Amino acid sequence: MNKIVQLTKQLEEEKGKLKRGIAARLKAARHDAGLTQEELSDLVGVSRTTITNIETGKQGITAYELIIICGALDVSSDALLGL
C-alpha cells in the first residue's frame, strides 16, 4: 500500500511540472504574439478565466484548447507541450 501512495505522489508531482511548463510556454507565446489574455480568449472562443487558469497552472489544457490556441498563436503543439 505504501508503494501505491508513493507512486501516486510521484505522478501528481509530474503532473504539476507538466502544467507549470505548459503555463510558462503559453504565456511566453502569447506575449510574443502581442496578445492579452482577453484577446487570445476572444480569438479561440474560451473564457479569459480559462486562459488565466491554464497560464497559472491551476487548470490543465484540453486537446481541443491546445489545438485552437496553437493555431491562434502560430506555434506547434510540440513547442507548447515542451516536446
Look up the domain containing 56 and give its range: 2-81
Whether this model's pTM surpasses 0.95 = no
Residue 40 region, left (φ>0) first, then alpha (ψ -120 to 50), else beta?
Answer: alpha
List, in sequence order, every beta strand (DSSP E) within 1-83: none
CATH number at residue 11: 1.10.260.40
Question: What whole-number distance in Å separates Cα of residue 40 and Cα of residue 59?
Answer: 17
Question: What whole-number distance in Å separates Cα of residue 21 and Cα of residue 12?
Answer: 14
21-70 per-position pLDDT tens digit = 999 999 999 999 999 999 999 999 999 999 999 999 999 999 999 999 99
Query: What total number of domains does the chain contain?
Result: 1
